[in-house]
Amino acid sequence: MKDSIRKLDEPRPSPGSRPLRRVVAALILRGEGPTREIFICQRRAGQPMGLKWEFPGGKIEPGETSVEALTRELNEELDIHATIGDLITTIRHTYRNGGAIEIEFFLVRNFQGEPVNRIFQQMLWTPFSRLPDYDFLSADLTLIRDLADGKLL
């Protein structure tokens, strides 16, 4: 019976639909003013939505807060110890296959260590204005336009 208990804050899936997948992602910045850059990563070719660009992060595990999940994911994916800043935005997106996702994007200005590529095809720092040049996941596209236009950060 224990597996059938649902936390009160977990979204309840509607009949016939897939459950909402909750994930977190980091908007990792470096520099200031016109030299400011943001860190992006490209999924490996063999992954779902392979070769698409995204911000590092991942799934929130049961019992984790969003900040705990992002701290863990950044350590696992990039071998960095990040100070998680403010929640910048939350996006809900439904993919064509019916899968739904809710992504919380947090600001990260400070971290210890240099990012190590543990799981990505490639990763890089890019100016905000260049974000639309990359083939991002469809869930991220509105955020990409807002960041490139200077509307969020």
- CATH topology for 18-148 is Nucleoside Triphosphate Pyrophosphohydrolase (3.90.79)
Question: What is the predicted pLDDT for the residue at 16?
Answer: 52
Token digits of residue 80:
């960095």
Could you tell me the mean pLDDT of each successive run of 10 residues in the chain, 153 residues long? 35 58 97 93 95 98 97 98 98 89 97 97 97 96 95 91
Q: What is the pLDDT of residue 13?
A: 43
| pLDDT score at 17 | 58
Give the integer Cα–Cα distance in Å for 137 and 66: 21
Per residue, the 3-state secondary structure of the chain, as one string, reads CHHHCCCCCCCCCCCCCCCEEEEEEEEEEECCHHHCEEEEEECCCCCCCCCCEECCEEECCCCCCHHHHHHHHHHHHHCCEEECCCEEEEEEEECCCCCEEEEEEEEECEEECCCCCCCCCEEEEEEHHHHHHCCECHHHHHHHHHHHCCCCC
Tell which residue, 93, 103, 95, 101, has the closest CA to residue 19: 101
Place of tokens 């490139």: 148
pLDDT in the model for residue 135: 98
Domain spans of the chain, in order of start: 18-148
Residues 40, 134 contacting (CB under 8 angstroms): yes
Would you call 82 exposed, middle or buried from its count of C-beta atoms within 10 A (0-12, 13-18, 19+)?
A: buried
